[in-house]
Structure 1
Amino acid sequence: MSTKHFINDPTHLVNTALHSLTLTNPNVALDSDNKIIYRRPSDAPQQVSIISGGGSGHEPSFAAMVGPGMLSAAVAGTIFASPSAEQVRNGIMSRVDTEKGVLVVVMNYTGDILNFGMAVEKAIAAGQAVEMVVVGDDVGVGRKKTGKVGRRGIAGTVLVLKIAGALAAQGRSLEEVAKVARLTAANIVSVGASLEHVHVPGRVIDSSEALAPEQVEVGMGIHNEPGSSREKLELPQLVERMLTQLLDQSDKDRAFLNVNSNEVVLLINNLGGVSVLELGGITTEVVNQLSDKYNIRPVRTISGTFMTSLNGQGFSITLLNVVNTDIGGPSMIELLDAPSEVTGWSAPVQKTSWEAKNTATRTDTAGTNKETQPSGLQMDAKHATSVLTNALERVIAAEPEVTKYDTIVGDGDCGIGLKRGAEAILKHIQQKPLTGDVVVDVASIVQVVETAMDGTSGALYAIFLNALVHALRTLGSGEAGPSVWSAALKLSCEALSKYTPAQPGDRTLVDALYPFVEVLGKTGDVKQAADAARKAADETKGMQASLGRSVYIGGSGYEEVPDPGAWGLACFFLGLGGVKPTEEGWESI
């Protein structure tokens, strides 16, 4: 791999690259604090706004696809890392028009789904009309290996963005735009291949992962993730292997889509380091094999650089099964052909846009710091403070054991993360006592969780609590008794399931969450529900993980300890149930 760069500071690299887009496209502006490229305000008719984004390093996706006819905004993280939920929330709430609704499109990576999902739930709780579509088009890793995580999102995502953007520009509703985006995503398959890993500026080289001379990795992901195999293949044999993974219906591990439409779109994508000359040769080889071996003659062949892996020495092949959109309007082909003014697609910026010299920007913060309105749903603030304090102190006391468990089966940060969040909430309710309005109080705690807790568990808790705020607000006014909490918690579990496939038995915090909610609904007794959560957390000992970092760590540690996240949450519930730890064990208070 090439380790020489003109800009070696990754932070400076991302910031200056984003700024460059405002120099090459007069339609867009930059919110540098939140790393958001967005369309400048104009007199154009209101339309559904489309937001996408993810880690930097995949340019021109996503920021260079902002402009008329495509994205309304793109939110950038650091290189190969998801942007934070707060960045995305700012994008949804204050950098795009929201009158007609907002569609958020993300690729299927855990960090992206959780952080974008958290922001979506926050926006929905604030009353915004927001839909989220997740794209997973990669067939490089089969069903057995991906399991519940599902297929990775790669270059096929760009076709979803182009089609959805063109439809939104025609003034269609959020429901229609989201429907066609999902339909497009469901009819795309992609696979990549690369001759070498890429080097991220500023990072130490890991030579142990390097490919041998003449080797190619079939199915390599866009963050250096492994694919299906490493082999010595010439281009014709490599393309044959890739097309087999895309099209062979007898391969039940990878037959994700039957490409049998009369119209097929082909996208050949440069991962960043392939010359224009060589990409042309690759395109010809792919088109010839599709025709000769599969009798597929694409109605559109699009070849270029759309979604990179920095300077990756590879390419990907995407096939779109063109199907009826069933909205009584334009076809997928017409939407792909529709004009757009973005530098990341194949259309030039129009003369009229340059001459307009539009310098308008968005600097308002309306909607991002809106005060939560009272709901009329009440609880005893003094009692609630006492119960919550006991629960949080129990989490803090449990940090050493949670850390011990996570050191065995994870990366050791779960206990510290839970403790940090619990301490921050305690400090918050001391400085800003609970009001007794359930929605106001939970909403204020959500802000603390979003700020104080990081990592996957932090995102999961924030999504759940944002959904809880929204659920509680829908349950009317009066006293917030066990039945109200039970109903709201069930709705929050449903919202959480949109962003994680975790179910009881997967060895995650959900193993403690679901039993608590279920027993609370049946009995109305918090202590019984907490006991059920503790029992379920205990039973994760010996349970093999289906999700999370433990899947990759392996070993036999899972046989020795319970899941750290489930145990930490069970400790919180026990505190809510009026149980505290003593030197002898547990006692009620």
Structure 2
Amino acid sequence: MSTKHFFSDPTHLVLSALRSLTYTNPSLAFDEENKIIFRRPDTTSKSKVAVISGGGSGHEPAFAGYVGKGLLTASVAGTIFASPAAEQVRRAAIERVDTEKGVLIVPMNYTGDVLNFGMAAEKAKAAGQNVEFFAIGDDVGVARTKGGKVGRRGLAGGILVLKIAGALAETGASLDEVYRTALLAAANTVTLGSSLEHVHVPGREVSSEIVPNDEVEVGMGIHNEPGSHRMKGANLPTLVKTMLLQLLDHNDADRGWMKVESGDKFVLLINNLGSVSTLELAGITAEVTAQLANDYNIKPVRTLQGMYLTSLNGLGFSISLLKLVDTGLGAGRSLLELLDAPAEAVGWTAPVQPSTWEEHAAGKPVEFKKAVYAQDVPSNLKLDPSQLKKSLSAGLQRIIDAEPQVTRFDTIVGDGDCGVGLKRGAEAILKLISEANLSDDIVLTVDRIVEVVEATMDGTSGAIYAIFLNALVHGLRAQDTKGAATPVDAKIWAEALNSSVTALAKYTPAQIGDRTLIDALVPFSKKLLETKDVHAAAKAAQDGTEATKHLKASLGRSVYVGSEEEWLGKIPDPGAFGLSEFLTGLADSL
């Protein structure tokens, strides 16, 4: 378990966390003495049933994170993993909420919470308030025989019950309607959690209780309580299969809490117990969803995923299923509609609108739009394929022959892979132009070369060449007159290369003088644009490469690899050298 925390004082931590809610939700107020988060009075609307919950801290966003319009009216917090006192709850129920239409007090089913919230409920009744009370229990990790008179523990499925109760209260429903609907929702909710490790409470001694590395605790409670059993060496599919059987096997007399029949509809909640990465939680959701469909023919009408009821930094998750039964309250007040109703509570996350769920409920296959690629759009720019093969072959062969020298340079000033990467790309292009029937359409031909570069050259230089060549395709196409066939000459190449250099500058900060392949590429492009002379341009690339011997690196691995005394004034930039060799071979073939 992780024992590192930013806070060492748990009391200060709890108060700070509660206070933060008034910063993130301006409709809330904080009674610090009693650790109560409550909604500020709303003078613009009629009285509504007040829904109060709470419990020990350490389960955030539960429970204070669910206070807000459309959900809880108030929440009462205890210290970490400990119930608040009855007096705290009494103050919330009598002094911090509007009691005109009654109060529903609904904690989770843990002994301390039941006693203290229950005592407060009785005090409020004795003071003449109209109050109903019940404790949510949705856990199936503890069997009936073992749970005895205590009953099921309250887990993440209870948050769905609180949402339903709060949404119904917001409609102006009576206390009796809110109370009965909450009971109905709780009776049709099941949850089971699993964890790879116990959690550590800030400020406390490290517990000797651990879960071995090759085991998972199935049914672990949110206060480090043991579960139903441990699985050894189980992978995720096996774990999920076990959990779903425990959740949905109504034939298990000791654990079956909910009967599933054909046509039943469900809401699925995948809850992060605190420190499962978002990536892994998403993978868990996918596995649960697949098994529900394949093994139980259940396709949830809503799926919620995230942190709803945590156990500090618990390395685990829980699965909750809510069966959607009839509330008997008519249109607009079904369990699903109440879950879908808007809520202004920072802990409630359900961003997908009901209309979106309904529109795509059938899950029809998506028809992909047919993409248009460069090779699908011919141009009128023409170049003799035999001349192109001759020039490219000369340049590419020169790169291949220079590989040992490029590698030697890069071993001194880099990581030694530049020469191999250039050679691999050159050989692949050479194979293409040797074996394929190249078109005289230069745009289509260059685009085929781009595909080879993207497939064979990796690393930074591979990305730079791919970007440059894609831009070159665009630069050539921009000069297509759309009329008669146009022979590609030095002027067209120069304009296209210049536009490619400009495009490349959007993606790399490298400039002349930074000791990169840009020191060869840009001089070549500029000189060709000025003179339309390929030989003069190749000479400019050679001069630019030679100049890199005397430059200090400001980009790439050369910045921090090797000693400058070893190579400064002696070794050119390997990337610039390799490119210069290609351009020289190209020019020599003409």
Partner of 1:36: 36
Partner of 2:6: 6
Partner of 2:270: 268
Partner of 2:334: 331
Matches for 1:432-443 after TM superposition, within 5 Å: none
Counterpart residue identity of residue 216, structure 1: V
Matches for 1:4-153 after TM superposition, within 5 Å: 4-43=4-43, 44-153=45-154
Q: Distance in 2 between matches of 1:95 and 1:259?
A: 41
Q: Distance in 2 between matches of 1:299 and 1:206?
A: 41
Shift of 1:22: 0.4
Q: Distance in 1 between matches of 2:278 and 2:214?
A: 21
Partner of 1:450: none
Deviates more, 1:43-52 or 1:109-118: 43-52
Q: Distance in 2 between matches of 1:214 and 1:6?
A: 29
2:304 and 2:350 in contact (8 A); partners too: no
1:121 is paired with a residue whose SS is helix
Shift of 1:133: 2.0
Q: Distance in 1 between matches of 2:222 and 2:264?
A: 30
1:137 and 1:153 in contact (8 A); partners too: yes
Shift of 1:248: 1.1
Partner of 1:314: 316
Measured at CA, do residues 331 and 272 of structure 1 come closer, stay the same or move farther in structure 2, by a change above 3 Å?
Answer: same
1:278 is paired with a residue whose SS is helix
1:133 and 1:181 in contact (8 A); partners too: no
Counterpart residue identity of residue 211, structure 1: V
Q: Distance in 1 between matches of 2:137 and 2:303?
A: 21
1:2 is paired with a residue whose SS is coil
Shift of 1:95: 0.4
1:138 and 1:189 in contact (8 A); partners too: yes
Partner of 1:289: 291
1:18 and 1:30 in contact (8 A); partners too: yes
Deviation per CA, 1:260-314: give whole Å up to 9, x if none: 3521110000001111111100000000000000000001111111000001000
2:200 and 2:207 in contact (8 A); partners too: no
Deviation per CA, 1:179-216: give whole Å up to 9, x if none: 10000001001000000000001111122x10111211
Q: Does 1:197 align with 2:188?
A: no
Q: Distance in 2 between matches of 1:117 and 1:292?
A: 43
Counterpart residue identity of residue 335, structure 1: L
2:188 and 2:322 in contact (8 A); partners too: yes
Q: Does 1:298 align with 2:333?
A: no
Partner of 1:181: 182
Q: Distance in 1 between matches of 2:73 and 2:146?
A: 35
2:269 is paired with a residue whose SS is strand
Counterpart residue identity of residue 310, structure 2: T
1:77 is paired with a residue whose SS is strand
Shift of 1:249: 2.0
1:90 is paired with a residue whose SS is helix
Q: Does 1:346 align with 2:369?
A: no
1:64 is paired with a residue whose SS is helix
Counterpart residue identity of residue 297, structure 1: K
Identity %: 65
Aligned residue pairs total: 347
Shift of 1:148: 1.0
Q: Distance in 2 between matches of 1:8 and 1:339?
A: 37
1:37 is paired with a residue whose SS is strand
1:107 is paired with a residue whose SS is coil
Counterpart residue identity of residue 337, structure 2: E
Partner of 1:585: none
Q: Distance in 1 between matches of 2:157 and 2:205?
A: 31
Matches for 1:489-528 after TM superposition, within 5 Å: none
Partner of 1:277: 279
Q: Does 1:238 align with 2:243?
A: no
Counterpart residue identity of residue 206, structure 1: S
Runs of 4+ aligned structure 1 residues displaced above 4 Å come to none
Q: Distance in 1 between matches of 2:218 and 2:270?
A: 15
Partner of 1:172: 173
Q: Distance in 2 between matches of 1:247 and 1:306?
A: 22
1:306 is paired with a residue whose SS is coil
2:56 and 2:77 in contact (8 A); partners too: yes
Counterpart residue identity of residue 307, structure 1: L
Matches for 1:349-388 after TM superposition, within 5 Å: none
Deviation per CA, 1:57-110: give whole Å up to 9, x if none: 000000000000000000000000000000000000100000010011111111
Q: Distance in 2 between matches of 1:204 and 1:147?
A: 31
Matches for 1:205-244 after TM superposition, within 5 Å: 205-207=206-208, 209-232=209-232, 233-244=234-245
Q: Distance in 1 between matches of 2:330 and 2:132?
A: 21
Partner of 1:559: none
TM-score by length of 1: 0.58
1:340 and 1:347 in contact (8 A); partners too: no
Q: Which runs of 5+ in 2 are unaligned?
A: 352-590
Q: Distance in 1 between matches of 2:289 and 2:131?
A: 39
Deviation per CA, 1:501-559: give whole Å up to 9, x if none: xxxxxxxxxxxxxxxxxxxxxxxxxxxxxxxxxxxxxxxxxxxxxxxxxxxxxxxxxxx
1:341 and 1:347 in contact (8 A); partners too: no
Q: Distance in 2 between matches of 1:173 and 1:250?
A: 37
Q: Distance in 2 between matches of 1:21 and 1:58?
A: 14
Q: Distance in 2 between matches of 1:200 and 1:259?
A: 38
Shift of 1:347: 5.6
Deviation per CA, 1:458-517: give whole Å up to 9, x if none: xxxxxxxxxxxxxxxxxxxxxxxxxxxxxxxxxxxxxxxxxxxxxxxxxxxxxxxxxxxx
Q: Distance in 2 between matches of 1:346 and 1:227?
A: 28
Partner of 1:476: none
1:106 is paired with a residue whose SS is coil
Deviation per CA, 1:386-436: give whole Å up to 9, x if none: xxxxxxxxxxxxxxxxxxxxxxxxxxxxxxxxxxxxxxxxxxxxxxxxxxx
Deviation per CA, 1:323-369: give whole Å up to 9, x if none: 00012341111100000101000168xxxxxxxxxxxxxxxxxxxxx
Q: Distance in 1 between matches of 2:185 and 2:94?
A: 26
2:267 is paired with a residue whose SS is strand
Q: Distance in 2 between matches of 1:249 and 1:72?
A: 35
Shift of 1:144: 1.4
1:7 is paired with a residue whose SS is coil
Q: Which runs of 5+ in 1 are unaligned?
A: 349-589
Counterpart residue identity of residue 27, structure 1: S
Shift of 1:32: 0.2
Q: Distance in 2 between matches of 1:170 and 1:31?
A: 27
Partner of 1:582: none
Q: Distance in 2 between matches of 1:347 and 1:340?
A: 9
Shift of 1:27: 1.0
Deviates more, 1:242-251 or 1:195-204: 242-251
Shift of 1:228: 1.0
Q: Distance in 1 between matches of 2:344 and 2:110?
A: 28
Q: Distance in 2 between matches of 1:174 and 1:259?
A: 30
1:153 is paired with a residue whose SS is coil
